[in-house]
A and B are shown apart, each in its own frame.
Chain A
């Protein structure tokens, strides 16, 4: 019995010591991995939530938009809003056709809101189309309004009219949706008639007056509106 007791006690002590050592070692190893960051480093990187980035966001397109955003008051803390035709022409540093071509991929995403001659007043169809486009934001961060005026009239008059048309769209959105920070979402460009006039082929885009005759003069009495799915 004596020998059995000794063997039992020795075995018990060995097992207890072994278990305790294994447990202690396991915890210490985990503590070392924790402190040295070895385990943390092995973790895969996770993407950070960001704005949408559509295939049409080419470097040239983003460069123009970024310049517009910086200069027209959408980024930073400036109180200034919108860009005048001269600004856009200088900022874009590209020809009229190239400027318009940048917006071609937005044909389906955007819409052309049409106005009466010498008027900045939105009709019901225009308001409905603005609402339709506005609520379809998805992952876009900026909503661009590119207002135009036809070549009829003086440049000063057209510049002013174009400005009013851009504001009409902004006010309509503001009244209807009452969203805060709207000025940080909506970028306004008013082009007058000096830069980037639209050709007749733009009549085939998603226009607000589908039932009316569309010509080059009419399509430039407009405001092109669209969310832009680019990380800017």
Chain B
């Protein structure tokens, strides 16, 4: 077998590993930057290391903020990003591939066997993450896709290395059976093309490829484990303490609204929480989705305060940030026992509603959408009582001297810091409301 022919799987594995390492490192770098509890731009690109782009990173941000991006998220702020394990694993595969590439036929037979065993594990992990991205998150980030592609290439290379090795093994067995002095025998049927006599490296003195000890596989597996775990251990050792920051974002000074204007959702007797939300605010939608995904929202005995960032009803703004939010808020107020359903509908249809509000028909479009999905609310939406109730909700924010921003969530009367509402959410909830069970 020509060494050039047999070495291409190792070369491919090396390229795939370096590519995977680059994407995993880029993703990890983005994650670690957020450990200062601020929001940063992401390197969301098919070119690893390309400049961070603002706004073009929705899918990557969705993936990063999801519960699937990290492990042990309730034990460490932000958890341990799974891309960190990929950094260690791809580093190992790069070094191992380089070794196989350089050693050629001198590498023991255990090497391609190990590559088959271990080289497909990134692909299995990628398949699982791809399914989560598609089914749970509804989007695939470019950096993640880069890792998936690298994993596929590595799996192809691993399988190819094993197949090539099997062919070589059969050839070696055949050559060993023949006399060293005898001319090379005709190839058995079906192997003519794969092993032409003219390309045998050392036809005169045949040296079969060493098999190697089975312990080699165990050793390499241990090494792979060490590579995968070491960056994670160093990551944990360098993490600062976040516990002092969690309760520093204020309290709800006046939690009670005496006229009963606020909405109650969720089971009575659960964890008391107050949520200030705008139905057309994308960040509110994202936080709601995260709370649902964590399994936390269903356990909240929640008081819902609508805080539309729309100057149509909110006197704290001189222009609308989310045009149409007042109208949708009134629809929610008018729905009472199905208020949460209307809010979740508004979140689902948020992009369309915002687009429609800014288009020619303006608020009439929003009104039509509400009428179509939730008929019978028109009179209530236009009543002064509903306006008054919404005023009272906005006044509740004034009475509590809250920032004019959404979402704001209070667990009990302690505010969940905005900085802890994304990758630090599970940790913050675990600390502020330990009785809440998270998925």
Contacts and interface: CB of A to CB of B under 8 A. Distances in A.
Interface in A31-47: 31, 33-35, 38-40, 42-43, 46-47
A210 interface: no
A15 B94 contact: yes
Interface residues of A, number: 49
Contact of B35 (A16, A27, A50, A180): A27
B92 interface: yes
Interface of A: 1, 3-5, 7-9, 11-13, 15-16, 19-20, 22-24, 26-31, 33-35, 38-40, 42-43, 46-52, 132, 135-139, 141, 179-181, 229
* Most central of B34, B258, B316, B404 by chain A CB within 10 Å: B316
B92 A12 contact: yes
* Most central of A8, A13, A27, A52 by chain B CB within 10 Å: A27
Nearest to A13: B95
A43 B88 CA distance: 34
A16 B103 contact: no
A40 B418 CA distance: 12
Contacts of A13: 95
A7 B438 CA distance: 46
A24 B38 contact: no
Contacts of B176: none
Chain A interface, DSSP helix/strand/loop, else mixed: helix
Interface in B76-124: 84, 87-88, 91-92, 94-96, 98-100, 102-104, 106-107
Contact of B102 (A4, A29, A181): A4
Nearest to A42: B38
Given A11-B98, A15-B95, A49 B36 contact: no
B402 interface: yes
Interface stretch (B178-186, B361-369, B384-392): B384-392
Contacts of A52: 315-316
Interface in B384-406: 384-385, 387-388, 391, 394-395, 397-398, 400-405
B32 A30 contact: yes
Nearest to A181: B258
* Most central of A38, A39, A181 by chain B CB within 10 Å: A39
A1 B103 contact: yes
Nearest to B402: A49
B25 interface: yes
Contact of A48 (B36, B87, B245, B403): B403
Contact of A15 (B21, B313, B315, B402): B21
B72 interface: no
Contact of B103 (A4, A29, A35): A4
Interface of B: 21, 25, 28-29, 32-38, 84, 87-88, 91-92, 94-96, 98-100, 102-104, 106-107, 223, 227, 230-231, 234-235, 237-240, 245, 258-259, 313, 315-316, 384-385, 387-388, 391, 394-395, 397-398, 400-405
Given A1-B106, A47-B316, A49-B402, A19 B25 contact: yes
Contact of A26 (B29, B240, B385, B401): B29
* Most central of A8, A52, A179, A229 by chain B CB within 10 Å: A8
Contacts of B234: 20, 23-24
A49 B398 contact: yes
Contacts of B398: 49-51, 139, 141
Contacts of A139: 315-316, 391, 394-395, 398
A179 B403 contact: no
Contacts of A47: 316, 403-404
Given A15-B94, A28-B238, A40 B38 contact: yes
Contact of B315 (A19, A33, A229): A229
B87 A19 contact: yes
A41 to B, nearest CB: 10
A141 B238 CA distance: 50
A40 B39 CA distance: 10
Contacts of B91: 12, 15-16, 19
A9 B28 contact: no
A229 B21 CA distance: 60
22 contacts: A1-B103, A4-B103, A7-B102, A8-B98, A11-B98, A12-B223, A15-B21, A15-B91, A15-B92, A19-B25, A20-B230, A23-B28, A26-B28, A28-B238, A30-B33, A35-B240, A40-B38, A49-B398, A135-B385, A137-B391, A138-B315, A141-B398
Contact of B387 (A11, A12, A42, A135): A135
A24 B235 contact: yes
Given A15-B94, A137-B388, A23 B231 contact: yes
Contacts of A31: 35-36, 238-240
Contact of B99 (A4, A22, A24): A4
A180 B397 contact: no
A135 B404 contact: no
A3 B107 CA distance: 11
A29 B32 CA distance: 9
B25 A22 contact: yes
Contacts of A141: 398
Nearest to B259: A179
A154 B405 CA distance: 55
A48 B403 CA distance: 4
A213 B90 CA distance: 91
Contacts of A28: 238
A209 B103 CA distance: 103
Contacts of B258: 179-181
Contacts of B385: 135
A8 B38 CA distance: 39
A135 B384 contact: yes
Given A1-B107, A12-B96, A46-B404, A30 B35 contact: yes
